[in-house]
Chains A and B, each alone.
Chain A
Amino acid sequence: MEGASYARTPRIKIRELKDDYLKFELRDTDASMANALRRVMIAEVPTIAIDLVEIEFHLRVKCMTDQTLDVTSKDLYSSDHTVVPVDFTDPAGLDSSENRGIIIVKLRRGQELRLRAIARKGIGKDHAKWSPAATVTFMYEPEIHINEDLMETLTLEEKREWVESSPTRVFDIDPVTQQVMVVDPEGYTYDEEVIKKAESMGKPGLVEISAKQDAFIFTVESTGAVKSSQLLLNAIEVLKQKLDAVRLSEDTVEADDQFGELGAHMRGG
């Protein structure tokens, strides 16, 4: 076990990928790794956000009509064409006319606004506005074993009742064989409702559910500042840099015996 834990090579399998949404499996590693990745994605992947606003009373936006004019993030013009406000419009472009960005201020007829906004690079730790992640979460992959023999002692009615006791749809009954089967193990929220239900039915051990300690299912949603796939890559890069920072320096080579395998690992061996 000891040796094996260091030599593990984590694997990632991407399940779903959109610009602002990513779902992937992370296997063959432990919770510390998975959680580090989550924490870095939330707090330490840098983005650019507006940090300073100078307001002057000169014309830049002026409302000329009787209706109120919404000044949104789209009205901001950038001095660097590579830096643009986050665009929320659906690439499918169905209702782009309605999606006009984030409202900054509403102006009445005759009102005007001029402002200069300075954007800076920062990380979510300093202020949540720099966080590229709307949601980063993971779950342990559950391992569900149904005790088939015990299950067969239940009537169809009881089976149905048991299946419905789970608030999320994890189990179902095969319409043909009328056997209980697991349809969506990841729907399980570790609420143990089904276990409690089995106990109250007098059938303890009807199902055994445990969390796999080395398999995680990640869900990442990006704010739009960074694509979700890039967010993951950036996070790994940041994590790597952090690890680099604690690499042992060369002059500890002679202490090799002292650190053993760990020392070699930390030196990049």
Chain B
Amino acid sequence: MFSVGKQLPYPVVGDAGIDKQFLAAPIKSAVDKFQLLPEFLKVRGLVKQHLDSFNYFVKTEIKKIVRANDRIVASKHPNIYLRFKDVRIGEPSIMVDGSPEKITPQTCRLSDLTSLINKQGYSLDCAVKLYSVATWKYAAPILVNVEYIQGSPGQMTRVEKNDVVIGRMPIMLRSCCCVLYGKDEAELAKLGECPLDPGGYFVIKGTEKVLLIQEQLSKNRIIIDTDKKGNITASVTSSTEAIKSKTVVVMENEKIWLLLNQFPKKVPIMVVMKAMGMESDQEVVQMVGRDPRYSSLLLPSIEECAKSGVYTKEQALEYLESKVKKSMFITDSSEKEGRAYSVLRDVFLANVPVHQNNFRPKCIYVAVMMRRMMDAILNKDTMDDKDLFKTMISEAKMWIDKFLEKNNKTSRFDFSHVIPKPLLAVQWSACDNIEYISRDTITNGLERTLSSGNFDIKRFKMHRKGMTQVLTRLSFIGTMGHMTRVSPQFEKSRKVSGPRALQPSQWGMLCPCDTPEGEGCGLVKNLALMTHVTTDEEEGPLISLCYYLGVEDLELLSGEELHTPFSFLVIFNGLILGKHRRPQRFATSMRKLRRAGKIGEFVSIYVNEKQRCIYLASDGGRVCRPLVIADKGISRVKEHHMKELTDGVRTFDDFLRDGLIEYLDVNEENNALIALYEGDATAETTHIEIEPFTILGCAMGKQAMGNIAYNQLCRKDTLLYLLVYPQRPLLTTRTIELVGYDKLGAGQNATVAVMSYSGYDIEDAIVMNKSSLDRGFGRCIVMKKKAVTIQKYDNNTSDRILRPDRTADNAGHMQILDEDGLAAPGEIIRPNDIYINKQSPINTRTQIIGSAANLPDSAYRPSREKFSGPEGESCVVDRVILCSDKNNMMCINFLFRHTRRPELGDKFSSRHGQKGVCGTIVQQEDFPFSERGICPDLIMNPHGFPSRMTVGKMIELLGGKAGVSCGRFHYGSAFGERSGHADKVETISETLVKHGFSYSGKDFIYSGPLGVLY
């Protein structure tokens, strides 16, 4: 009658009519929500933040940037202009003999430019064509539709041209512009790509580059802090498409001042208020709040203003004009209006727009800033903790936006610089001014920025170094970990502990465990499994929606009305919209709209009771995560929803659309009460965690040896470490399965005896079994790349490769050479062996007489390349790849393979950080054995346990043993036991006992040399 397990019992209405057992059953039963996770990762993926950001950029942002300033007018001839009508990114391609040819990421990876010939055998599906034009990167053309004026000043014609290439854009792998987008496994394999590879990086000059997620203080938000002298400050970092500025209001000597870059010295805030038209002191006081405590704090500032004789707007502007920094280039508008006025309008609190010279919103903004400061003075609680994550938004919204913006702007400047010149020239009419568009500015700018990682935007005074990194390919998981890394905003050298500490608001957003040791500790962070980083969302409709929902417009409010009791200010993306009299109702209705899918799912609504504000946010770069919605503590996700999910009729997005799950950002989490497990939910609970372990990231095995990708043997890395026999762990975790660690493993399962043995195992050293090593334990492959360029010189001479002279003295070292003078793949190469028989001309400077090809042998000197490897070890020439580099010279890449077996001093580690070097290698017969014949692969010293307290390792030892004996992979987790996603130690012990082992995992073993019981 009843189904077993966790399913809700369905009533069976029999003759009796009422089923008592059903009525007696508990109403709530925990629903297994684990299945949501693979579904979530299917939709979002682990590197979705990179892809989202890039996709948003190429689809929306780039159009915005171009639209923002689409007209270039010749300064001398206003009729002559060039207008960008539309912009888009084409398909990744290179130009071959003037016609575009499609390229794939793998070809770009294989070439410092483009890959060509793969010498002999070892069939690699790489191009055999020698491209005459260099592709240095995986890039696609940026195409624009333009409209411009052509002809002489006398007779002008308007010309329209579509799909003009203005530059080449590096393409992020797996983004919507990439050839890999939407391809299935077989198609990816055909393109030479690993299906498990997450993408999200660029290929530039043959190397893979990741743009790191940057952490930034949230922009356009008021942050209350204390400066070095202990003065309270309120600062706003404004950022708009046009300008970036930082406005600081500081309380010093009981007076309030404004600090702004354009003013070399601090200026009294009241003067600024007056300059913005707020001539009445009373109104300022009203705007700040009528509470006498506020007024008394404001009084000295008002007095100061009166003392300096500033009463009117004109006086104030005059006063500021004397203080303002003189600009080097004076534009027409600032000459007319006065420099101070334009600074106040454009730079001061740039995020608050000024429409038709209406400064009132800015005044109110300043008043709110002052009010917050005074709150902080009166009551220290309201101080923002700068280190608190909630004020820091991970600016994953990639800086590529910014730097492209910059680059596009420079290219615009380029046009305006370039175009007027022919205008002045007489032959203007003859030329088509479209030819003057410089393509290289954008292309080179993008490439340089991405490959060096230095972002310099002079306009924004932004200089950042190390924004991109070469993607680590030490192990598959290491790569994944690298893609989720968040780089800090502070300098690493700072010896401060505040920002390094784990903040409570990082819960679920950043992995609490995954941070490096040493200088970057706590500063370099990693995203958690389910973290999502938002992209910008259209503001206009949201703002008007707010007004419909009863927000009273700022314009209609007097200063007095601003802070009436029971009304909350509504702040949208740092912009004050107005006030609302029923804040909770407003927040609830906004949230309802979000859950119904009427507004974007990443819009956050946060009611701050203390500041009496409602914060709405739709901007990009906020981190958020999905949570299950609960009504009065009862989860909205029910068993039947999960069943639909497993049956494939419901997707993760359906959960969002049906309002079962929603995304909360760090701020909105403050308004939620989140239960870790469904069972913990009380009536006040608003949300339930999907799976507790998702607060972790994927930290394991960064430098573990294993597999890189399915295409690991078709790659061309300078150094590559591979395990010959990688295995998937016997004791897995759910995370391992989610990130694909079980498919591309790093490491091997070992039979471990925890005991002391021989004294060669002190200080964490490991004793290894020689026979295990013979049988392939820990065997690895090291691949090294050596590149040789066939140089061409200025005097038309060039290096040449010669057929080896089999009779020469050093013929012994040239045995591995083929007739073409290059080492043959598959040959064993020893130290000092020559792998390329190259000769260089002696004279490379002065012009030579006659043809360069007919140079006599005497004009060359040998420049053979010798292999330098470890003495006594033999490597193998794995592959020889021929390609041309960007200077169109032939480049020959040799890949040497070296198979190594573990030896003394090699470092080994378990997954719990219990690392140790190999202390000695012992014959199997000397190794301890059990009466079942089990002989360990390695012995580790038990002294590693008590001080380190690696309980996880103890559980892994048990679980692994149980796993081998019963033939089932066991699960372990820091949280999962309660939600049923991990095996409990008790059940593991039962399994062990069932298979005849001690419940504790201990075995009695015999001494190898003596044969007696230990």
Contact = CB atoms under 8 A, between A and B. Distances in A.
Interface in B978-1014: 992-993, 996-999, 1002-1004, 1006, 1008-1013
B717 to A, nearest CB: 25
A10 interface: no
A31 B929 contact: no
Interface of B is mostly: loop
A34 B774 contact: no
Contacts of B923: 43, 125
A129 B998 contact: no
Contacts of B1009: 35
A221 B1006 CA distance: 18
A176 B771 CA distance: 51
A138 B774 contact: no
B463 interface: no
A228 to B, nearest CB: 13
Interface residues of B, number: 31
B1004 A38 contact: no
Contact of A138 (B121, B997, B1011): B1011
B993 A167 contact: yes
B948 interface: no
B198 interface: no
**How many A residues are at the interface, by size bracket?**
20 to 34
A42 B993 contact: no
Contact of A167 (B930, B998, B1013): B998
B771 A128 contact: yes
B118 to A, nearest CB: 16
A193 interface: yes
Contact of B1012 (A31, A39, A125, A131): A31
A129 B1008 CA distance: 20
B97 interface: no
B932 interface: yes
Q: Tell which of B924, B932, B999, B1010 has the most Cβ of chain A within 10 Å.
A: B924
Contacts of A6: none
Contacts of B925: 38-39, 42-43, 124
B1012 A167 contact: no
A32 B999 contact: no
A55 B826 contact: yes
A193 B1010 CA distance: 25
A31 B774 contact: no
Interface in A104-132: 124-125, 127-129, 131
Nearest to B1003: A189
A211 interface: yes
A15 B466 CA distance: 71
B999 A167 contact: yes
Contact of B998 (A124, A135, A136, A193): A193
B1011 A32 contact: yes
A167 B995 CA distance: 8
B14 interface: no
Contacts of A190: 1004, 1013
Given A31-B1012, A35-B1011, A190-B1004, A221 B933 contact: yes
A193 to B, nearest CB: 7
Contacts of B930: 137, 189
Interface in A236-268: none
B931 interface: yes
B384 to A, nearest CB: 59
A138 B1010 CA distance: 12
B775 interface: yes
Contacts of B998: 167, 189, 191, 193
Contacts of A39: 925, 1008
Contacts of B1006: 137-139
A62 B224 CA distance: 76
B880 to A, nearest CB: 15
Contacts of A73: none
B770 interface: yes
Interface in A166-202: 167-168, 187, 189-191, 193
A12 B1008 CA distance: 22
B677 to A, nearest CB: 34
A128 B1011 contact: no
B1013 A43 contact: no
A234 interface: no
B771 A137 contact: no
Given A31-B1010, A124-B925, A187-B996, 12 more contacts: A32-B1011, A35-B1009, A55-B826, A57-B121, A124-B924, A128-B774, A128-B924, A131-B771, A136-B933, A137-B931, A138-B1006, A140-B1013
Q: Which 6 A-B pairs have the closest CB atoms?
A: A35-B1011, A128-B774, A135-B933, A139-B931, A128-B771, A137-B933
25 contacts: A31-B1011, A34-B1011, A35-B1009, A55-B826, A57-B121, A124-B925, A127-B774, A128-B771, A128-B772, A128-B774, A128-B775, A128-B924, A136-B933, A167-B992, A167-B993, A167-B996, A167-B997, A189-B931, A189-B996, A189-B998, A189-B1003, A189-B1004, A190-B1004, A191-B998, A221-B933
